[in-house]
Amino acid sequence: MKIIGIAHATLEFILKVSESSAPQEFAGLLRAEKGIISDIIILPGTESSDRNAVIKLFMMPNISSVGSVHSHPGPNIKPSKADLRLFGKTGSHHIIVGAPYDENSWQCYDADGQVQELPVLEVELGEE
Ligand code: ZN
C-alpha cells in the first residue's frame, strides 16, 4: 500500500498518548486505510524503557500494519539500533515521538531509518 500521509486526528492522538505516558514510553502499530495512516494498535502495558517498548512490538501477533510508532522519554527522536531492527520487520513507516510531544517533536522514518516525509492530512475519519 502506498502511504500518502497521516490523519491529523491520528497524529494528535499519538502526541496525546505519548505525553500522558511520559516518562513511560508507549508503542503501537500503524494501520492505514486508503493510503492514510488513520488507526493505531496500542500495545498494552508498554514498559518504561525504549528497549522494552521495542521488544514488545516484536512479540506482537501477525497483525497487518504499515509501520510502527513509539515515544521516547526525552527530546531525542533518532532511532536506536533496536528501533532499526524493528523498523525492518514491521512495515515502511515508523514514527518516533519525543518530548515535548507537540506537532514538531516527531519524525517519520523508513524501514532503513532514513527520515521520510509524512504529510499530515485533514481527513474525516469514518466510523468503524
Ligand atoms: Zn526508540
List, for residues 71-84, the tens digit of each pLDDT value: 998 999 999 998 99
Question: What distance in angstroms lies between residue 127's CA and the mean position of ligand 1's atoms?
Answer: 31
Query: Does residue 100 sit in helix, strand or coil?
Result: coil
Question: What distance in angstroms lies between residue 9's CA and the mean position of ligand 1's atoms?
Answer: 23
Is pLDDT of 60 > 70? no
Q: Which member of 25, 47, 124, 128 is catalytic?
A: 25
Burial 70-99 (b: 16+ CB within 10 A, else e): bbbbeeebebeebbeebbeebbbbbbbbbb
Spatial contact of 93 and 111, defined as CB atoms under 8 Å apart: no
How do residues 38-58 score in pLDDT, each as one tens digit?
Answer: 999 887 655 545 555 555 665
Is pLDDT of 23 > 70? yes
The confidence score (pLDDT) of residue 41 equals: 86
pTM of structure: 0.86
Which secondary structure element, helix H or strand E, spans residue 106, and what is its range? strand 106-109
Question: What distance in angstroms lies between residue 80's CA and the mean position of ligand 1's atoms?
Answer: 5
Question: What distance in angstroms lies between residue 103's CA and the mean position of ligand 1's atoms?
Answer: 18
Question: What distance in angstroms lies between residue 36's CA and the mean position of ligand 1's atoms?
Answer: 23
Q: Is 122 among the catalytic positions?
A: no
CATH 2.40.170.20 fits 5-121, yes or no: no
The confidence score (pLDDT) of residue 94 equals: 97
Domain ranges of the chain: 5-121
